Amino acid sequence: MSGELIAGRYELEELVGSGGMSGVYRAHDRLLERKVALKILHQRLVEDREHVERFRREARAVAQLAHPNIVTVIDRGEDDGRQFIVFEYIEGENLKQIVERRGPLPIDEVLELGIAVASGLAFAHERGVVHRDVKPQNVLLNGDGRAKVMDFGIARSLDVEKGVTQTGTVLGTSNYIAPEQASGQPVDDRSDVYSLGVLLFELLTGDIPFPGESFVAVAMQHINEPPPRVLDRRPDAPPPLAQLVARMLEKDHDYRPSMDEVVAE
C-alpha cells in the first residue's frame, strides 16, 4: 500500500495501526504539504452495509467534535469503493505505552491527563456522542504533552442509535468495559465514565483492576466483582481522587458521576 495515492491527494507512507474494522496509515497530504493519519475501512468489510454505515457515522460524529483534547477530523471520502477518514497526525506515544514504560504516574500528571481526557469526552457527550471504547491506547500525547482522545470507531450518537447495531452486540475492549456494556445492555455516557475510571486506576497504580486470560473472564469480573481500592495499591493518592475513581467504577451506572462532574471534581 505504501506509495499509493488515495483520492489523488493522500500518499500512503506506512501502516501505523490496525483494528477489526480498519487500518490507519501515516500519509502525506500533497495538497497542503503535511503529514496526516488516514483510516481506511478493511476491504473485506466494504460489501457489508452495516460496517460502511458505522464507519461513515464515525466520520460524521467526530467531524463535529472540535476540541483541543480530541483528534481532529480533516476529511472523509471514498476512493475506488474504499471508505476513508483523514485525521490530524499526532507524533507521540499513547497512554498505554507511557504506563508500560514508566509505571504508575505522578499524581499531578494523572490529574492533568484525567482532566484533559474527561474534558474531551464531556464535550462529545454534550453533542450526543458516546465513545464506547475509552482506553489508554486511544489517548495520544502530542509533542506538547497534550492528551488527545482518538478512535471514536464504535462511537454512537445518543439520538440515532436505533437499528444500526444489532442489540446485544458487545463492542469495546474487555479490560476497560463497563458492566452494562459487558452484559449487552444499552450503553450511554456513564459507560464512558466507567472506562475512564479504569484508565485512571491504571495511571495511578500501573495495573488494570481486573486482569484475566480471556474476554469473558475479564467481562464477568467487571459485571460481578468489586474493584480493588486505589489506596491499597497507591497509598499516596489523595483520598478525594481515590474516592472519585471508586464512584466512576460503580456497577450501577446511575450511581456514577457525569463526565462534567468528573472534570469539576
Residues in Cβ contact with 108 at an 8 Å cutoff, skipping those fewer than 6 apart: none
Active site residue 133: yes
Looking at 29, 48, 133, 207, which residue is catalytic? 133
Residues with a catalytic annotation lie at: 133
